Amino acid sequence: MAATYRSREGLSTRPAAYGGNSDEIQLRIDPIHGDFDEEVTGLRKQVRRLRDVAQEIETEAKFQNDFLNQLQMTLIKAQAGVKNNMRRLNKSIIREGSSHIMHVILFALLCFFIVYLWSKFSRR
């Protein structure tokens, strides 16, 4: 037979009424040792607070999810715009030829020459 356990709060355990080898126990509440109405009221308040926090978390999660969906749509649109602009740029490069590279090289040489002359005249 299983031993009976007793707590300070007035709870005690005993073996189940049916079956001698069962792992189940029955819980008996001794009303003399505790005011369980206050405990139950306190637990209800805590459960209510937890429910409110869970609802706030759910609301925030929905908001964040909507925000991420909008951000994803914005990125998809931006990616499509960049892709279209790259396509147009490639077409214009093919149409115009490679003369723009020559212009960039000439501009760089001109800038280098101006800096060179400026450094020569500034030493005097």
Q: Which of 24, 22, 21 is nearest to 13 (CA)?
A: 24
The mean predicted confidence, pLDDT, of the chain is: 80
Give me the mean pLDDT over the 63-92 stretch: 93
11 or 114, greater pLDDT = 114
Please tell me the least confidently modeled range out of 70-74, 90-94, 107-111: 90-94
Query: Does position 82 have pLDDT exceeding 90, yes or no?
Result: yes
Q: What's the average model confidence in pLDDT over 37-66? A: 92
CA nearest neighbour of 95 among 83, 107, 87, 84? 87
Q: Which amino acid is at 10?
A: G
Residue of 30 and 49 predicted with greater confidence: 49
